[in-house]
Amino acid sequence: MKSSIAMSLAAVAAIGITVSAEVPAAEAKGHSCKAIAKFDRNGDGRLSIFEAKRAGRATFNALNPDGDFTLEYAEVRGRIGPKTFDRYNRIKRKGLDRIEWTRLVRARFHAANPDGDRTIECNELYTPAGRRLMAVIAY
């Protein structure tokens, strides 16, 4: 009984931590789904492609305060490397537009979902591919 109370207190404490693109090591160990909860519109504890794309759009807007239609390389602030930026940036005169950014989110979603179901589960988020997905959807 005592241990179950302690466990739920720990869970409550874990919920208080702010989500960032970097997943804290302690959280990864416990596989808390707090990081997913932030984007989990339907509350099933999993991240669907729709939820990921929505989060990706919000991140795009947050990274693009000048309100133009593209993210320049400086605006992505190290979330993606120069090669990735270049690969998804089809029209080279400008930065990444919303469609290109969403294409990147989708590719990273699938890369982070090796079991091939329709959703990212907690354990999939705490992998290198899951962290790369977080880098483009978490803000």
- DSSP per-residue letters across 5-57: HHHHHHHHHHHTSPP-SSPPHHHHHHT--HHHHTT-TT-SSSEEHHHHHHHHH
Nearer to Ca ion, 3 or 42 (CB): 42
Catalog residues that contact Ca ion under the rule CB under 5 A.
40, 42, 44, 46, 64, 66, 68, 113, 115, 117, 121
Count of Cβ atoms closer than 10 Å to residue 5 Cβ:
9
Nearer to Ca ion, 68 or 86 (CB): 68
Query: Rounded to the nearest whole angstrom, what is the least distance from the CB of residue 2 to Ca ion in the complex?
Result: 33
Cβ-count burial of 127 within 10 angstroms (0-12 exposed, 13-18 middle, 19+ buried)? middle
SS3 content of the chain, % helix, strand, coil (to 5): 55, 5, 40
The HSE-up count of residue 116 (CA atoms within 13 Å, CB side) is: 0
Nearer to Ca ion, 7 or 77 (CB): 77
Query: Rounded to the nearest whole angstrom, what is the least distance from the CB of residue 75 to Ca ion in the complex?
Result: 5
Nearer to Ca ion, 4 or 66 (CB): 66
Query: Rounded to the nearest whole angstrom, what is the least distance from the CB of residue 26 to Ca ion in the complex?
Result: 23
Query: Rounded to the nearest whole angstrom, what is the least distance from the CB of residue 124 to Ca ion in the complex?
Result: 5
Query: Rounded to the nearest whole angstrom, what is the least distance from the CB of residue 6 to Ca ion in the complex?
Result: 29
Nearer to Ca ion, 32 or 64 (CB): 64
